[in-house]
Structure 1
């Protein structure tokens, strides 16, 4: 169970740095889980939200970039902040392109680290809300009948009731009924909401 402030997963093969950072972060109110290797993190972690991964770039088993690849394949969306003392520019660019949120060079000061962590946790909170909302929209969409899904698709494409009726070979009154059911099941207040839901599902 994470604290109110959020959870931090610290992955660094340097025992002294890992212990020191863990103590500091616990002291300011974070729930910290530390690992001495990327493989240990993959084997023993259960990521929650809001959370952030503090990841050393250079490690003996899997590098930070290799772990990032593994997390990407597993569908992980937890934000990552790279920590490094000796990274090449191309590694930094590659890490950021692959989705790392920030890159801090050792030695960094505590304020710099805490600011980066707060930014990452806020990002993860918003991201988690978006994921939940998209999941809810998809679940609502599954409640639609095949005909209601057709009406939904034509509504979001911009067609009016009469045009939809003509395309589906039915009456305007029937389409109004289908539309009302679509709006109710999708929990939409307007066709604009349906368009937004459609975009979020795709």
Structure 2
């Protein structure tokens, strides 16, 4: 069975890289391996869904240092730390900054495969969320200023007649605006509109400032 997923394997232990890469490729993953964090930063191109299997202790740059760099770049590929000798504070730091798992060498193969599958699944959902946000923002930008006002009041739970009073217009006019809002936002109910609005944080859209 071919698994859809990209693995960036970063470890300065060559034998570990070779054996892990071979095994993961046989399972259908696309694997890129790097002997150092520096090489990874220089040569890797972000793809998704993916996971970074990252050795914590490396000579040029620790796993935590690389995680810090990636956060600064806004690169959100999930990280699984792999280590033979981590200190508890490193584990805590790594997980606090968003690592999805931590495995100790020598690790159980099943444990590794489950962690990788979970991380790839997490990245798939993360990617879907981003594309839904992009779509929602695009739809929102297609609204006229008055439709955005109506949208904001609908999300706050106001009825057509209350919005008409707020905006100094008629109930019938608001009905037309509401129909256009629902159509442009691809929402078949106010509940769906509210969900899109909140999940994509449209209240803080630059058009509202």
Fold shared, TM-score > 0.5 on shorter chain? yes
- Distance in 2 (CA, whole Å) between partners of 1:4 and 1:170 is 56
- Structure 1 unpaired stretches of 5+: none
- Structure 2 unpaired stretches of 5+: 202-209
1:95 alignment counterpart = 94
1:7 alignment counterpart = 6
- Distance in 1 (CA, whole Å) between partners of 2:200 and 2:65 is 30
66-75 or 174-183, larger mean C-alpha shift: 66-75
- Distance in 2 (CA, whole Å) between partners of 1:107 and 1:53 is 18
- Distance in 1 (CA, whole Å) between partners of 2:13 and 2:99 is 21
Q: Secondary structure at the match of 2:32?
A: strand
Deviations 1:116-161 (A, max 9, x none): 1111111111111111111111110010011111111111011111
Number of residue pairs the alignment of both structures matches: 200
1:130 alignment counterpart = 129
The alignment status of 1:31 with 2:40, answered yes or no, reads no
Q: Secondary structure at the match of 1:124?
A: helix
Runs ≥4 residues deviating over 4 A: none
Q: What TM-score do the two structures reach when normalised by structure 2?
A: 0.92
2:186 alignment counterpart = 187
- Taking only aligned residues, the RMSD between alpha carbons, in angstroms, comes to 1.1
2:39 alignment counterpart = 40
- Distance in 2 (CA, whole Å) between partners of 1:11 and 1:101 is 16
Q: Secondary structure at the match of 1:192?
A: helix
- Distance in 1 (CA, whole Å) between partners of 2:144 and 2:185 is 12
- Distance in 1 (CA, whole Å) between partners of 2:3 and 2:112 is 18
